[in-house]
């Protein structure tokens, strides 16, 4: 009878050992998966930070280009207006171009109103073909 109970005990130990091993293995796999997810999340965050830095750099450069374009347009409009006012007339084509330049400068690039008075002088010029 002792052999029977020994066999039962050995069987119970073996079954328990298998269950414990399966449980431990599932916990190890869950931990590995959690670590992989954490690593992936860290990689994604690092990439997002890198992209944010690049976007900020591009925004800074675009801001500089916009400011440079604004200054260039301001100077160009002012010089053209002076040329036409000195001539005392302006062609319809030139008038259309300088008006569009002023509109873009004023509205799209949010230029100041300093050129408004200059453009009023251009508006009063006789238009010629």
| 8 vs 128, more confident | 128
Give per-residue pLDDT as tens, 24-68: 888 888 888 888 888 899 999 999 999 999 999 999 999 999 999
pLDDT at 2 over 70: no
Q: How far apart are CA 107 and CA 126, in angstroms?
A: 25
Q: How far apart are CA 2 and CA 7, in angstroms?
A: 8
Structure tokens that stand for 81 in this block: 């207006």
pLDDT at 1 over 80: no
Q: For the residues 78-93, what does the mean pLDDT come to?
A: 97
Give the mean pLDDT of the chain: 91
Q: How far apart are CA 33 and CA 39, in angstroms?
A: 10
Taking the domains of the chain in order of start, what are their residue ranges? 2-128
| 81 vs 28, more confident | 81
pTM of the predicted protein model: 0.62
């Amino acid at each position: 009878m002792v052999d029977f109970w020994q066999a039962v005990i050995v069987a119970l130990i073996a079954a328990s050992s298998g269950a414990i091993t399966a449980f431990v293995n599932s916990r190890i796999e869950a931990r590995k998966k959690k670590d992989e997810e954490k690593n992936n999340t860290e990689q994604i965050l690092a990439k997002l930070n890198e992209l944010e830095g690049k976007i900020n750099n591009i925004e800074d450069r675009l801001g500089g280009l916009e400011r440079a374009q604004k200054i260039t347009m301001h100077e160009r409009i002012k010089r053209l207006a002076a040329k036409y006012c000195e001539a005392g007339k302006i062609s319809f084509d030139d008038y259309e171009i300088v008006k569009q330049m002023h509109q873009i400068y004023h509205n799209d690039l949010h230029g100041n109103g300093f050129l408004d008075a200059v453009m009023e002088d251009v508006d009063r010029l006789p238009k010629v073909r």
